Structure 1
Amino acid sequence: MSADKNLDIASIVRNFRIDGDFISGMPYGSGHINDTYLGRFKTPAGETRYIHQRINHNIFKQPELLIENIARVTTHLRSKIQKAGGDPNRESLTLVPANDGKFFHKTPAGDYWRTYLFIDRAKTYDLVETPEHLRSGGQAFGRFGGMLGDMKGEPLHETIPMFHHTPNRLALLREAIDADCRNRAAGVKKEIQFALERSDEMGTLVRLQQEGKLPVRITHNDTKFNNVMIDDDTQKAICVIDLDTVMPGLVLYDFGDMVRTGTITAMEDEPDVSKVGANLTMFEALVRGYLEGAAGSLTSAEVDQFVLAGRVITFTIGVRFLTDYLKGDVYFKIRREGHNLDRCHTQFKLVSELEKHAGEMDKIVARYR
């Protein structure tokens, strides 16, 4: 799916309970999966803004269950934030109901849309700018998981089955290699070798979960740094966003993805891998912030795997980019030829850098646990 500038966004937004007169709606953000638009509305009090998203139902096969997850999670978070004296409209996403009372609108064409309140005076960053940013982001994600620890009811729906299951991702890679539907495998032999020779170690977290040594929790599962909003004035993280993959999982997937996106010294799709490294000052800020936010809710066994988690998630994302490249770029949006391969290269280079610094990283974790 891709944002369509010719889309009649006005015909979509009128299906939601929005106060004000529609002014405009334009593509917004840099997400890989869903199509996002920023809507502007005129009210007697001035201009207000909303976020409108078309859910990619090719990826999320059951959008209604996804929305049910988000509604449950945000209701729980908003209650806790309000009881603590916070501002739930800034510290949590706020779903806007459709005219029929549901939190989504389904078009005659079968597209699913949702609307959120826009959070003013805050923004996201694709690349971490300061250690304090990352410490604050770590606090936000650690706190996010901690607040969901006592959410009642049935387990959340698994919106993408086996999402971070590394052995399964490797199995899908092997299938893509064997199928070689776009005749690309011969050109990526080094990348394939890099992945397969690390397959045993990278299955460690799944094995520990299966052995009952790591607990399953409600986790975000997509904790890249640009999924937390930073307040313009305080420069502190205020809101965790992009809740499509909130579901049962390992807290180490969340921490590991923050290592992946918070310590890297280049953009995720940087073509020049010589620019890719692991910033240990950032790693220290993340460890400190995440443990502060989690506030004692993690087990010793979970903290034991912090360093490995960074490598596992970075590796797993790299495998996903490589698999998508072999399959013809059918999952992640691309903006140039070989884009997914560039993304794979940066992930695998970061894995190598994290391997080099594992001993130093262990010492950092020991300092704050």
Structure 2
Amino acid sequence: MNEFVWQQVLPHFGMTRDEANQDAKVAPLGNGHINDTFLVRSETGDFVLQRLNTQVFPTPWGLVGNAGIISEHLCAKRDSGDYQLQVVCPHKCSNQELGVDLGEQGFWRAISYLPYSHSIEVVESAEQAEVAAHAFGHFARSLSDLDANQIHDVIPKFHFLPGRIEALREAAEKDPLGRVEACREWVEFALGQTGLFDELRELEPKLPLRICHNDTKINNMLFDKRDMSAMAIIDLDTCMKGHLMYDFGDMVRTFCSPEAEDSTALDKVLARPEIFAALAAGYTKAMGEVLTEAERQSLWLGARIMPLMIGVRFLTDHLLGDTYFHIHRDNHNLDRAANQFSLYQSLLSQQDVLKPMLG
């Protein structure tokens, strides 16, 4: 892979293997489920190189265009003192485009790398939760004056629970790999959660359309390793028009459990009330008066929808042969699904404690 990157990809970003870059290195970076990501280190500067998964993102030019618009807006706000985080910006190709399409060899783009950055996979304290949630709220608030209609829908109906559950139903009926029988209990559990549809139909018409991150996992907020303050919001690939309840719900999904999202220790997959309280406080404080009353009321619905919906997506992918999310072991997506459904059940069991924390 490294030789291909050097010969076919990096020259498009103005980098060749010459005397100035003889000590440069390319190494895998992160553990994302979708794209292939590399860190390029050289004496002339470090940057992140990615090959986008065009099966997941069939309109990559729209994706990099969105990231360009959003990063430009945030940079302007940062320059005026209205945005307190660092901004991950695109590196243009030699022809000034935001990416390069190499056909069967993939669509590639480069973005800035932030030194001293640190990501975590599991929230260890309420303080970490509040710092990260405040950063995501600050990000959303800073985009609230950017016209959402400028942003391309890279994955239409990305957070649409009825569609995701219907896709699971179809996958279970087709059962192309004969996997349903081994996980029938989880399939039937997921298909039985349609009661949330009524709440969704009632609330959604009241919610303003925002530019949302749509993937507010804890590892998409970078800490500054020097003092563990918030440094940057990253991974703008799924930034699209939507509703803030899903961003809040994805924080609940990835902040609240003391276990990683693929842990099989399901008895330990719990929604920690102190973490829920911290992220609720951090997010709503950062949003301030920008958050409408209807949006505040929707946050508890988002908190329940997201672990359920991501669990449904993991389970659907398992039934269809693991074509969407990268896997690293047999039944990996099934393990992820069971994990998310367990978190959803934990949230439901603590509703009387957790819901009042949202005010």
Where does residue 291 of structure 1 map in the other structure? 284
Residues 207-248 of structure 1, C-alpha deviation per residue, up to 9 Å, x if partnerless? 522xx2112211000001110100112212121101000000
Q: Give the conservation status (yes or no) of the 8 Å contact 1:35–1:55.
A: yes
| 1:255 to 2:248 alignment | yes
Q: 1:206 to 1:240 in 2, by over 3 A?
A: farther
1:145-294 paired onto structure 2 within 5 Å = 145-152=140-147, 154-202=149-197, 204-205=199-200, 207-209=202-204, 212-294=205-287
| 1:42 to 2:43 alignment | yes
Partners in 2 of 1:180 and 1:153 — Cα distance?
38
Where does residue 117 of structure 1 map in the other structure? 112
How large is the RMSD of aligned CA atoms in angstroms? 1.8
| 1:353 to 2:354 alignment | no
The counterpart of 2:136, out of the listed 137, 141, 148, is: 141
Q: Give the conservation status (yes or no) of the 8 Å contact 1:155–1:248.
A: no
Partners in 2 of 1:207 and 1:16 — Cα distance?
49
Q: Give the conservation status (yes or no) of the 8 Å contact 1:106–1:113.
A: yes
Q: 1:361 to 1:101 in 2, by over 3 A?
A: same
Greater shift after overlay, 265-274 or 192-201?
192-201
State the one-letter code of the partner of 2:77: K
Partners in 1 of 2:198 and 2:164 — Cα distance?
10
What displacement does 1:197 show?
1.5
Partners in 1 of 2:298 and 2:103 — Cα distance?
47
Greater shift after overlay, 272-281 or 19-28?
19-28
State the one-letter code of the partner of 2:55: N
Q: Give the conservation status (yes or no) of the 8 Å contact 1:166–1:203.
A: no
Partners in 2 of 1:185 and 1:36 — Cα distance?
33
Where does residue 326 of structure 1 map in the other structure? 319
Partner SS for 2:307: helix
Q: Give the conservation status (yes or no) of the 8 Å contact 1:97–1:103.
A: yes
| 1:93 to 2:88 alignment | yes
Q: 1:346 to 1:9 in 2, by over 3 A?
A: farther
Quote the sequence identity (%).
34
Structure 1 stretches of 4+ with a deviation exceeding 6 A read: none
Partner SS for 1:145: helix
State the one-letter code of the partner of 1:215: P
State the one-letter code of the partner of 1:41: S
Where does residue 77 of structure 1 map in the other structure? 74
The number of residue pairs the alignment matches comes to 355
Q: TM-score, normalised by structure 1?
A: 0.92
Q: 1:298 to 1:343 in 2, by over 3 A?
A: same
